[in-house]
Amino acid sequence: MTAEKIAELTGHGNPIFTLELSQKPGILFTGGNDKGLVEWSLKTNAFIKVMFPVNASIYAIHCPAGYPLMFAGLRSGQVLVFDFIQQKVIKSLNHHLKPVFDIKSVSSKKELLIAAEDGTVSVWSIDTLDMVHTIKVSADTVRCITVSPDEKQVAFGCRDNTVKIYDLEDYTLLKALHGHTMSVFALAYSIDGAYLVSGGRDAQVKIWDTTSYQLVKNIPAHLFAVNHILFHPTQPYFATASMDKSIKIWGADDFKLYKIISREKGYPSHPLSINKLAWNGDQLLSVSDDKNIFIWDIKFQD
């Protein structure tokens, strides 16, 4: 496996916390501790424009498939709704009063899930943009959300070190997973749904079997917090991003380490915490506290 940095997108003046590919191919959105949400072209690897201004840091961006909408979760608790057809912010979802950390959608239910520092997840209709439900998941922050590929279950990672599994039909709690010794920052279901992978501030990556939710494997994956976990859409690998300034690529079936992208390994990588990743085909995009977006070309077969 080889990794080569093919582009560097610069322009943010502050740390970048999140990124999201648009529903439209070749477009990337980024947000962080800046005054706006930024649009980039992945065809020309260039800045396009600031989509809209924000009055607080952006912690989450979500573009639900099949809708001309983008949702931006802010440190203020607001979620701004941008309509691509009207080219403007059409609504602010003002339910949470504390920071929003993650936003995901459930296509089959046409619902949006918003996780916040208040320990709740709010459920919204994507069609009407009305709140339909709220779930009290934890006494503390809910940091991350992942929806199972069959959309039957959803997992929430919490600051109280637990992972909570809910039934997506009626939002009942199915299981609480205990294993991490610090906050759970990252969660991802494998593409086939057989495993749930969790990463925490404790620098551990844990592999859970989704039939029983038993712990299959614990990997001391990084030196510091695991900020993000992302499975490749078609190749049997997943990537992890860490506060230790490294990206690691692991086998999705054997859970072995295949690649470390870091300055220590001789790569022109981020000098600060890597916060979020996105796969664009075989290109891996990373954003960091260093204010930059890097694009890595990953070749899985040498």
What secondary structure does DSSP assign to 62-74, as a single string? E--TTSSEEEEEE
CA separation, residue 226 to residues 31, 70, 256 (Å)? 19, 26, 17
Q: How far apart are CA 300 and CA 302, in angstroms?
A: 6
Residue from 277, 282, 281 nearest 294 by CA: 277
Cα torsion through 190, 195, 199, 203, rounded to 10: -110
CATH number at residue 185: 2.130.10.10
Domain that holds residue 221: 2-299
pLDDT surpasses 90 at 289: yes
The total domain count for the chain is 1
pLDDT grade for 302, boundaries at 50, 70 and 90 = low
Which pLDDT tens digit goes with each residue over 65-112? 999 999 999 999 999 999 999 999 999 999 999 999 999 999 999 999
Confidence of residue 301 (pLDDT cuts 50, 70, 90): confident
Q: Is 52 exposed, middle or buried (0-12, 13-18, 19+ CB in 10 A)?
A: middle
pTM of the prediction?
A: 0.98
